[in-house]
Amino acid sequence: MRLAQAGARVVVLERGPYYTLRDFTHDEVAICRRDFFVPSVDTDPHTVRKDGGASATRTSEGWIGVNVGGGTVHMSGFTYRLHEEDFTLKSRTGGLAGADLADWPIAYADFARYYDLTEALLGVSGAAGINPFESRSRPYPMPPMRAHPAAALVDEAARGLGYHPFPTPRAVVSRAYGSRPPCTYCGFCGDYGCENGSKSSVLSTFIPRAIATGRCEIRAEARVVRIVVDDAAPNRVRGVEYVDASGISHVLEARIVVLAASAIESARLLLLSTSTHHPHGLGNGSGLVGRNLTFSTFGKATASFSRAALRERLGEADMDLPFLQRSVQDDYWMPRSGLALGKGGTYNFILHHPNPINATMRMIMESDWELAGEALSERMRRYFHDELWMEVEIFGEFLPTARTYIDLDDHVRDAQGLPVARISVQQHPADVEVSRVMTQRSVDMLSAIQPAADKVWKYAEGGTTFHLQHGTCRFGRDPSHSVLNPSCRAHELDNLYVTDGSFMPTSGGVPATPTIIANSLRVADILRQRFVRGEIAG
Amino acid sequence: MTQPTRRDLMRGLVGAGGLLLLPVCRLHKPAEPVLEGPIGAWPRERQETLAAAADRILPGATAAGALHYMSYWLAQPFWTFASHEFEIGALLLQREARQRRRLGFASLGGADQDEVLSVMRRGDLTSARFDSAGFYKRLVTLTVESYLADPKYGGNKDGVGWQLVGAHSCWWAPKKLDRLWPVVGAGDVL
C-alpha cells in the first residue's frame, strides 16, 4: 500500500484465494472443519516432530491463513504491543543456557510510532492508561469493545489478588471507522472472516487502499515456488517463479522482492531457492535460515459458571454479549520470580467460542470419548442453556533454541513436487516452567470470582500455539548471527526483504500481529526512501 | 343415448377409485429424501446399524438426518479416506452384535448396543487394516456434526440441533440479529 501510494507499481502474489466479505458465513463445518483457510494435508502438508522425536508426521499445523490478507482475516484480533524488555532480552538477562537470545537491532523508542500508525491504519479499539505494564503516549483510535457484564467480576477477582486487569485491545472497530461499520457483536471473530467488515483485517484495510491507488495488483492463487537469482548477478534477485491456478509457470521480474509468507513458509522458500552462489538456500550464508524458530507457549484454564447465579449478581441485561474483554500483564516479565528466566506473557480472559460443534466435541474429548447417549444430550442442554464458560488463555514467551527450527523434509513433497517444511519443536524447560506457574495463576484468578464457579480446571499448560510463529530469518547487525539486516533486507542480497514474523529474534509474550504490521510499515518507509531516491524505478 | 362402453365403465371405476384413493394419499407423510452417496449404496441392514449407532451416541441423530449428512461428507475429498472404514465399522458392529446375542445391532437393547460401542471405542476391534478407536472417534465426530451443522448438508433437520443451542448463542449471521450495539451508555462496562 505504502509503495503504491508513493507511485511504485506493486504486484502482490498470494498462494491462496482472494475472499470477499460475501464468502464469509457462520457455517462452522465449512469454515472451521474443512480447510477453508488452510491447505489440505494431502496436497500441502507440513511435517512435525516433537520433543526430539526421530520421525516427522504429516500435519496441517503451522499454516496460518492461506488467503489474501493472511491470518488477519480469521484472527480474533487481540492486539497487544511488545514491551520494551522484549527488544533487549539478552542484554537485560545476560542470556540463558540453552537459549539463543538476541537483542533487537533497533530501539523500541524508534519503533513505537509504527505501533501508533498500525493502530490508526487498521482501526484498533482500546483504552490507554489502564495497563500499568505497557508504555504508550497516544490514546487508542477508538474506545474499547463492549464487555460482558461478568468483566466486572473478573476485575474484582483479579484486583483482589493484586493484578491489574485492563480492557483487551482489539483490531475490531467499536465505532464506524472510515467506511467500515461498527461490530455487531456476533462473537464469530476467531476462526471466521468478518462478513460485516468490522474486523480490522489486512483484507478490509490495507488491500482496498492499495488497490485504490491504481498501481497495485493482487494475483491470487499464484503459488511462488522459487526466488530467481542469476548466476551472473548473485547479489540481486531477478524476480520470482510462480505457478498459477491453471498450473502454468510464470516468472515475474521485479526490482524489489518482499517475502511475507509466514515464518515457516518464507524460510522454506529461501531454502528451496538454491543456486550456484547460494547452495544452502537464498541468503543463507549464516546457516540461520529456518533456525531460531519460535512459537507462543500455550496454557489455558477454564471455569464453568451457572448462568442463573450470574444473573442473580449481574441482572439480565447484556448477558449475551460475546466478549469478556479483559487482559492482565502483571506476569509479562518476572525478573525476581526465582524462575530460571521469568519471561512470562499475557493472560487473556475470554468467553468460550460460540461454535456449537466445537463446544460439544470438547466436552466429549474431555470425557475421554465416553460421554454419549442421554448423558450427552443432557450435558449439551446444560452447557448451552445453564452454563457460561470463562477462560484464561495465555500467550507465553517461547525461547529460541537449537532444537526448534524448520528444514526441508527429505521424504514428503507437496503437490508441486517440492519438499515440504519439516517443523522440529522442543521447548526450553524455562518456558514450560513459566507456563505451569501462569496456568496455576489463571486457575487462581478464575477461582476468586464471585459467585463461585461450579468448576475450575486446567485445560492445557506448556503447549505450543503453532500459528504464532517467528524467528526463522532473524534480523541483526552481524551477518554471521542473522539473516536480515536491521532494515529486514537480506544481508547478502541488495533487493530482497522479509517482513513477516521471520525477522523477530524473540517472540515476546503477545500475539505478534500488530508488531509484524508495524515492522512492515517501518520497512515500507525504508523502501519508499529508496524509491524516492531513484534506487527503485517504478 | 348410447350404451356405456366397457371403457366408460373402466373410466368410471377409476374415477371413483381415484376419489377414494386421494384422501389415503394425503394421509401419507411427504417422502424422505433419498439416501444418496456411499451409504445409500450399502445394504439396508448395514445402514440400520449405522443409524442405530448414531442414535446411541446422540439420541435423535438419525431422525435429524445423520445418515444423509455422513453419506454426503464421506463422498467429499476431506472424508473419502473414511468411506471404506465406516462400512467396515458398521460390519464389525453387526458381527459383534450377532456374536453376543445372535441379533442384528439395530435389534439389540440399548445397554447391549452401548456395550458393543464401548468395545469399538476401547480399540478392541482393531486389526491390521482397521483402527477401532479411530473409527469410533470419527463416527462420534460426524454424528455430532450432523446434528449441529447447517441443514443444507442433510442433517440438523428443521434446525432441531440449533434449537438445542438456544437463542443466546450468536452463531447465526448477524443480519438475523435484531440487535446492534453501536451506542455505549454511561454505566457500561468497558
Cβ–Cβ of A176/B182 closer than 8 Å?
Answer: yes
Say yes or no: A35 contacts chain B, CB-CB below 8 A.
yes
What is the side-by-side strand order in the sheet with A166-167? A166-167, A326-328, A345-351, A387-396, A294-306, A455-470
User: Is A229 strand, coil or helix?
Assistant: coil
A471: left (phi over 0), alpha (psi -120 to 50) or beta: left
Nearest to A425 by CA among A405, A396, A400: A405
Nearest-10 crossing angle of helices A356-366, B132-148: 150
* pLDDT for residue B177: 35
Q: What is the distance in angstroms between the Cα of A147 and the nearest Cα belonging to chain B?
A: 6
**At CA A288, angle to CA A282 and CA A289, rounded to 5?**
45
Cβ–Cβ of A377/B161 closer than 8 Å?
Answer: no
Digit-coded pLDDT (tens) for A459-490: 999 999 999 999 999 999 999 999 999 999 99
Terminal-residue alpha carbon distance, chain A: 14
* pLDDT for residue A25: 86
Which residues on A lie below 8 Å from B150 (Cβ)? 27-30
**Partner residue opposite B56 with nearest CB, options A148, A184, A372:** A372
Digit-coded pLDDT (tens) for A207-252: 999 999 999 999 999 999 999 999 999 999 999 999 999 999 999 9
Terminal-residue alpha carbon distance, chain B: 92
What residues does A327 pair with on adjacent strands? A166, A348
Q: What is the distance in angstroms between the Cα of A243 and the nearest Cα belonging to chain B?
A: 23
Q: Contact at 8 Å (CB) between A431 and A294?
A: no
Cβ–Cβ of A369/B137 closer than 8 Å?
Answer: yes
What residues does A390 pair with on adjacent strands? A303, A351
A379: part of which helix (H) or strand (E)?
helix A373-381
Is pTM, for the whole model, over 0.90? yes
φ, ψ of residue A406 to 5 degrees: the values are -120, 150
φ, ψ of residue A377 to 5 degrees: the values are -55, -45
Average pLDDT, chain A: 96
Helix ranges (DSSP H) in A88-124: 89-93, 108-122
Which residues on A lie below 8 Å from B146 (Cβ)? none
A358: closest chain B residue by CA: B145
Q: Contact at 8 Å (CB) between A161 and A448?
A: yes
User: Is A438 strand, coil or helix?
Assistant: helix
Q: How many CA atoms lie within 13 A of A21 on its CB side?
A: 16
- Burial environment of residue B26 by CB neighbours within 10 A (0 to 12, 13 to 18, 19 or more): exposed
Count CB pairs under 8 A between chains A and B.
Answer: 120
Q: Which amino acid is at A108?
A: Y
**Partner residue opposite B173 with nearest CB, options A25, A144, A361:** A25
Per-residue pLDDT of chain B (190 residues; tens, 9 = 90+): 445 455 554 454 444 444 444 444 455 556 678 899 999 999 999 999 999 999 999 999 999 999 999 999 999 989 999 999 999 999 999 999 999 999 999 999 999 999 999 999 999 999 999 999 999 999 999 999 999 999 999 999 988 998 888 754 444 444 433 333 333 333 444 4
Nearest to A404 by CA among A253, A318, A288: A288
Cβ–Cβ of A40/B78 closer than 8 Å?
Answer: yes
User: Is A170 strand, coil or helix?
Assistant: strand
Which residues on A lie below 8 Å from B190 (Cβ)? 127, 143-144, 146-147, 167, 325
* pLDDT for residue B163: 86
Nearest to A78 by CA among A16, A126, A118: A126
Q: What is the distance in angstroms between the Cα of B152 and the nearest Cα belonging to chain A?
A: 10
Which residues on B lie below 8 Å from A27 (Cβ)? 149-150
* pLDDT for residue B6: 53
Other beta carbons within 10 angstroms of residue A21's beta carbon come to 12
Cβ–Cβ of A188/B171 closer than 8 Å?
Answer: yes
Which residues on B lie below 8 Å from A182 (Cβ)? 180-182
**Strand spans (E) along A417-518:** 419-425, 455-470, 496-498
Cβ–Cβ of A372/B166 closer than 8 Å?
Answer: no
Q: Contact at 8 Å (CB) between A342 and A350?
A: no
Taking residues A112-126, report their average pLDDT: 97
Say yes or no: A231 contacts chain B, CB-CB below 8 A.
no
Kindly compute the dihedral angle of the four CA atoms of residues B6, B7, B13, B18, in this order, to the nearest 10 degrees.
Answer: 170
* pLDDT for residue A70: 96
- A514 contacts: CB under 8 Å, gap ≥ 6: A79, A80, A81, A115, A118, A119, A122, A124, A171
Q: How many CA atoms lie within 13 A of A197 on its CB side?
A: 15
User: Is A461 strand, coil or helix?
Assistant: strand
Say yes or no: A187 contacts chain B, CB-CB below 8 A.
yes
Cβ–Cβ of A175/B182 closer than 8 Å?
Answer: yes
**Partner residue opposite A384 with nearest CB, options B56, B166, B184:** B166
- Three cell numbers at A15? 498462494
Q: Contact at 8 Å (CB) between B189 and A151?
A: yes
Q: How many helices (H) and strands (E) does chain B have?
A: 8, 0
Say yes or no: A40 contacts chain B, CB-CB below 8 A.
yes
Dmax over CA atoms of chain B, in Å, equals 93
Nearest to B104 by CA among A306, B96, A87, A213: B96
User: Is A511 strand, coil or helix?
Assistant: coil
Nearest to B145 by CA among A162, A29, A364: A29
Residues 59-88 of A with CB under 8 A from B: none
Nearest to A495 by CA among A133, A305, A285, A239: A239
Say yes or no: A361 contacts chain B, CB-CB below 8 A.
yes
In 3-state terms chain B splits into helix, strand, coil percentages (rounded to 5) of 65, 0, 35
Residues 363-402 of A with CB under 8 A from B: 364, 369-370, 372-374, 376-377, 380-381, 384-385
- The conformation of residue A452, written as its DSSP 8-state character, comes to P
Cβ–Cβ of B166/A28 closer than 8 Å?
Answer: no
Say yes or no: B100 contacts chain A, CB-CB below 8 A.
no
Q: What is the distance in angstroms between the Cα of B164 and the nearest Cα belonging to chain A?
A: 6
Taking residues A373-400, report their average pLDDT: 97
Say yes or no: B119 contacts chain A, CB-CB below 8 A.
no
Place of cell 470419548: A369
Digit-coded pLDDT (tens) for A130-187: 999 998 989 999 999 999 999 999 999 999 999 999 999 999 999 999 889 999 898 9
Say yes or no: A415 contacts chain B, CB-CB below 8 A.
no
Beta pairing class for A326-328 and A405-413:
unpaired
Quote the CA–CA distance of A345 and A251 in Å, as a whole number.
Answer: 43
User: Is A455 strand, coil or helix?
Assistant: strand
What residues does A10 pair with on adjacent strands? A216
Digit-coded pLDDT (tens) for A286-343: 999 999 999 999 999 999 999 999 999 999 998 989 999 999 999 999 988 889 898 9
Place A263 in a pLDDT band, splitting at 50, 70 and 90: very high
* pLDDT for residue A103: 98
Q: Contact at 8 Å (CB) between A510 and A396?
A: no
- The conformation of residue A535, written as its DSSP 8-state character, comes to S
Q: Contact at 8 Å (CB) between B78 and B119?
A: no
- A237 contacts: CB under 8 Å, gap ≥ 6: A227, A228, A229, A254, A257, A282, A493, A495, A496
Digit-coded pLDDT (tens) for A47-77: 999 988 889 999 999 999 999 999 999 999 9
Quote the CA–CA distance of B68 and A514 in Å, as a whole number.
Answer: 44
* pLDDT for residue B14: 47
